[in-house]
Amino acid sequence: MSDRKQFPSMTALQVLLAVAERGSTSAAAEPMAMTQSAVSKQLIALEGLIGGAAFRRTPNGMIPTEFGAIYIEHARTAIKAMEDAALKVARLKPGPRVLRLQVPPIFGDRWLLPRFAQFTGAHPEIEVQFTTFVSSTQTEIPDAMVRFVVELPANEDGRYLFGNEVLLVSAPTYWEKLGEVTCLDAVSKGIMLEHPQTPFHWAPFVEFNSQKGLEVRHTMRFGYYTMVIRAALAGQGMALVPKGLIAEEIAAGRLVNPAGLGYRSDFGYWFSKARNLPKSTSMSLFENWLYSEAESGDD
């Protein structure tokens, strides 16, 4: 019998990160291009290897256990190391230029990826690799990144995409249940859905609208911003969301912005590049496409 230690597969580690990011096996299935059953099987197999549960099941989603948190941290490092190796090898091969882009998960999920087939269809010769974080052991610098900031660092060049226009939204059924919502006093009787690590909270919203000190009846907080948007779509409350992330849902009527309520945030999504990196033809093509898409839905 071999005494070699068994390690989780890369697929299992990717499933672990997807569940941690999205809060459920069903939500993780789509970006993994797997069924929910297949995601669950990968997670069960991983938990068998690590000797304990990776997540606690709660009404607000799946929350990492102490075991899970350790593996999530090191899974990021392992996957990043393999991404770095693949990129180095790709850059040694003749052929199309590889672009490595670092994007926040919510930006990639709700804005970039639904549009991305347009770019790959127009430029199949360009290979684009995505990453969502930087580890302390990362050896490769992304060609460009999307930042969620007030302004770019002094050593980067880039351009604002969208995000300053923030709307108060929920499903039509929620507003019907809440009653006539034409002013802040009316919506203050509702339930606010928030992610603590974003700036999209009730306080700056009412302060911007000259109602500082007005309290909302109840606030429900989630560990992932994707869950805030999903809860709003499900009619569980109201959320403050950048218009660019929910333009499709607004247009389709799945989310409603009563009385145009919202505010201008200092934060926004910016596309940026380090000034010391040369810009390739492939990057120029991608930038032009990206800016054109952002301008078509300019907030």
Question: pLDDT per residue over 56-100, tens digit each?
Answer: 999 888 999 998 899 899 888 888 888 777 666 655 554 457 788
Burial group, residue 15, by CB count within 10 angstroms (0-12, 13-18, 19+): buried
Give pLDDT, residue 208.
95
Give the span between the Cα atoms of 282 and 279, in whole angstroms.
Answer: 8
CB 146 within 8 A of CB 102: yes
221: DSSP letter:
E
CB 55 within 8 A of CB 19: yes
Give pLDDT, residue 5.
61
Domain ranges of the chain: 10-75, 95-163+268-296, 165-264
Residues of the chain with pLDDT under 70: 1-5, 86-96, 132-141, 297-299
Give pLDDT, residue 130.
85
Beta 268-274 vs 144-149: how paired, if at all? antiparallel
Residue recorded with tokens 């948190």: 69
Give pLDDT, residue 131.
78
What the block records as the tokens of 44 is 């069960």
CB 17 within 8 A of CB 75: yes
Give pLDDT, residue 2.
46
3-state helix, strand, coil in the chain (%, to 5): 45, 20, 35
* CATH code linked to domain 95-163+268-296: 3.40.190.10
Sign of CA dihedral 236, 238, 244, 250: positive
Give pLDDT, residue 149.
94
CATH of 165-264, one of 3.40.190.10, 3.40.1160.10, 3.40.50.12140, 3.10.20.30: 3.40.190.10
Q: Do domains 10-75 and 95-163+268-296 have the same CATH topology?
A: no
Give pLDDT, residue 252.
95
What the block records as the tokens of 55 is 């997540």
What the block records as the tokens of 2 is 């071999």
> What is the topology classification, in CATH, of domain 10-75?
Arc Repressor Mutant, subunit A (1.10.10)
What the block records as the tokens of 105 is 């998960």
Give pLDDT, residue 75.
87
Per DSSP, the three-state class of 59 is coil
Give pLDDT, residue 236.
96
Give pLDDT, residue 87.
63
The candidate with the shortest Cα–Cα distance to 245, out of 99, 144, 146, 172, is 146
